């Protein structure tokens, strides 16, 4: 498979992290079966050509629709393309930014996959048709930019407690205690979670946990980190056993299992 990514138009960059494309061919001898990991980000996905099967996430249907919302997910999600041409265009949103385009409380999307056409109808079909007839990555980026600029509910990014808490969690690579945030922003734990869930889809603790794991996983995937001990120290895990348990929670296996395999899609879609 060939993986590409690019940034959206400048006006969209506070809200959209990246666009990506996955293309290639599958056959009986080379089936495409991959998985993605919880990464703290919501996304929209367009797919063309063959059918896609997704497991470990709630969806009321057999084959995945062509244009769908992927909310936050808390466990590995397995993806399988049937034989033929694979052609996917995805949109990954900045944390706490999805609601600027579609006013759906994010906790309603957690561990779920929802057909976008249920909410957008003809507009969604028009975007799909334009992308299908203009299949280059550059053309699809332009179509996506126009679509999201039109749907942007606010003309500018407004700082609030949730945005500031998200920024703090990201800047500290997820290694932060909830009580530190409540003291910093002078709010109760309950109130912070009440604001956080509709915009992020996870509570504060789970979001920070997901961010920390993704940061540790990226570090461990580089040549700089050859031992678990260094990752444990740098990212604030209790000990190596704690990190191994986090791997089991997020990937369903041990660190050596993940690093030994290619896992291209999981690595390509790692979080911020």
Count Cβ atoms below 10 Å from residue 167 Cβ, excluding itself: 13
Per-residue pLDDT, 223: 67
Per-residue pLDDT, 182: 96
Per-residue pLDDT, 193: 95
* Alpha-carbon distances of 117 from 97, 165, 241, rounded to whole Å: 20, 32, 44
Per-residue pLDDT, 146: 93
The answer, yes or no, to whether residue 116 has pLDDT greater than 70, is: yes
Q: What is the pLDDT of residues 218-265, one digit of tens each?
A: 888 776 777 788 889 899 999 999 999 998 999 888 888 777 766 676
Phi, psi of 79 (to 5 degrees): -120, 130
Q: What is the pLDDT of residues 45-75, one digit of tens each?
A: 888 876 667 766 666 556 677 888 888 888 8
Q: Give, in words, the CATH class of 2-151.
A: mainly beta
The answer, yes or no, to whether residue 155 has pLDDT greater than 60, is: no
Which contiguous run of DSSP H or E holds residue 54?
A: strand 52-55
pTM of the model: 0.88
Query: Where would I find the H helices in the chain?
Result: 117-120, 122-133, 137-151, 161-171, 178-185, 189-200, 204-220, 228-235, 240-251, 255-260, 264-268
**Residue 194, CB-side half-sphere exposure with 13 Å CA sphere:** 5
Distance of CA 33 to the CA centre of its chain: 18
In CATH, 161-268 is 1.10.287.3510: no
Q: Are 221 and 198 in contact (CB under 8 A)?
A: no
Q: What is the pLDDT of residues 182-210, one digit of tens each?
A: 999 999 999 999 999 999 999 999 999 99
Q: What is the average pLDDT value for the chain, to the nearest integer?
A: 84
* Domain segments of the chain as ranges: 2-151, 161-268
């Amino acid at each position: 498979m060939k993986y590409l990514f690019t940034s959206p138009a400048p006006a969209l960059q506070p809200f959209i992290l990246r666009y990506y494309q996955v293309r290639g061919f599958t056959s009986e001898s080379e089936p495409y079966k991959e998985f993605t990991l919880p990464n703290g980000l919501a996304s929209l996905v367009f797919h063309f050509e063959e059918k896609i099967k997704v497991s470990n996430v709630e969806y009321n249907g057999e084959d995945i629709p062509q244009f769908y919302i992927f909310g936050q997910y808390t466990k590995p999600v397995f993806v399988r393309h049937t034989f033929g041409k694979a052609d996917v265009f995805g949109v990954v949103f900045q944390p706490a930014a999805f609601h600027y385009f579609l006013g759906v409380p994010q906790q309603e999307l957690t561990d779920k996959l929802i057909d976008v056409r249920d909410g957008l109808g003809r507009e969604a079909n028009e975007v799909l048709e334009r992308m299908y007839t203009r299949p280059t990555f550059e053309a699809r980026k332009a179509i996506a930019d126009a679509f999201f600029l039109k749907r942007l509910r606010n003309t500018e990014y407004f700082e609030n407690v949730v945005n500031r808490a998200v920024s703090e969690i990201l800047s500290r690579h997820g290694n932060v205690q909830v009580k530190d945030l409540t003291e910093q922003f002078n709010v109760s734990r309950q109130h912070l979670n009440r604001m956080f869930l509709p915009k992020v889809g996870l509570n504060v603790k789970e979001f920070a946990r997901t961010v920390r794991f993704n940061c540790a996983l990226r570090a461990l995937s580089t040549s700089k980190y050859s031992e678990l001990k260094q990752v444990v120290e740098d990212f604030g895990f209790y000990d190596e056993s704690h990190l191994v348990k986090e791997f089991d929670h997020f990937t369903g296996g041990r660190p050596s299992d993940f690093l030994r395999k290619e896992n291209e899609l999981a690595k390509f879609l790692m979080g911020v």
